[in-house]
Amino acid sequence: MARPRRIVLIRHGESDGNVDDTVYEREPDHALSLTDNGLRQAREAGGPLRELFGGERISAYVSPYRRTHQTFQSLGLDPGKVRVREEPRLREQDWGNWQDREDVRLQKAYRDAYGHFFYRFAQGESGADVYDRVGAFLESLWRSFEDPDHPPNVLIVTHGLTMRLFCMRWFHWTVADFESLANPGNAERRTLLLRPDGRYDLDRPFERWCEPEPYGLSG
């Protein structure tokens, strides 16, 4: 099995929806573009990323949203070194069609009280639903490692919540652990690094906005 040396997760740059939540009333979530600042963030993220990969081959997976496609394109990776695929299972949590700003703000308040993992938006998904489809993607990803010529790098261009749930699934974190973690910033990345024993370490933790509530499980 050709396990990659590193698996890089990167969140999209700043989008129109990050600066104006009324845009969801007139534009589909998947169609939102990066702002000029978001394009700049993605370009700036590309330099360190190209240095990290060092000219090695990359297997890239990109959420089907416009802002993730734009982020990937702005990274400036060598197209001769990248095998890229659109991966719908890495999309943002679905909130349900066009959105009324006041209703979404109310539902977000409910989610904060109920829990981000279990709360389901009225016409959309719960965090648990995203976890399940991320788990299905991971099964496909692991099968791809069976190719002895698999590239030494995997790049995943996705969304903040999806990044946290990917790591939750990979590292077997508890729901309480997930609930304590904050989203990474726009165009921010986390990297899973292969150890000599075949396991992976996260290069740096996600910031915590609270301490996880203990439920009595350990190990």
Please report the pLDDT score of residue 146 as a whole number.
95
28-57: buried (b, 16+ CB within 10 Å) or exposed (e) per residue? ebeebbbbeebbebbbebbeebbeebeeeb
**Given a cut of 90, is residue 131 above it in pLDDT?**
yes
Residues classed as catalytic: 12, 92
Mean pLDDT to the nearest integer, 147-168:
97
Angle at 158 between CA 153 and CA 160, to 5 degrees: 120
How does residue 106 score in pLDDT terms, banded at 50, 70 and 90? confident
Mean pLDDT of the chain: 94
Please indicate whether residue 100 or residue 193 has the higher confidence score (pLDDT). 193
Q: Kindly state the percentage of the chain with pLDDT values over 90.
A: 82
Cα 210 to Cα 109, 176, 181, 185, 207: the distances in Å are 17, 10, 7, 17, 9
CB neighbours of residue 154 within 10 Å: 22
**Given a cut of 90, is residue 119 above it in pLDDT?**
yes
Q: Note every long-range contact of 106-115, with CB atoms under 8 Å and residues 24 or more positions apart, other chains counting.
A: 115/175, 115/179
Please report the pLDDT score of residue 215 as a whole number.
61
Distance between the two ends of the chain, CA-based, in angstroms? 27
Mean pLDDT to the nearest integer, 102-118:
88
**Given a cut of 60, is residue 217 above it in pLDDT?**
no
Q: Set out the domains of the chain in order of their start, with CATH numbers.
A: 6-202 (3.40.50.1240)
Please indicate whether residue 197 or residue 214 has the higher confidence score (pLDDT). 197
Q: Kindly state the percentage of the chain with pLDDT values over 70.
A: 97
Please report the pLDDT score of residue 209 as a whole number.
81
**Given a cut of 60, is residue 219 above it in pLDDT?**
no
CA distance 158 to 69: 9
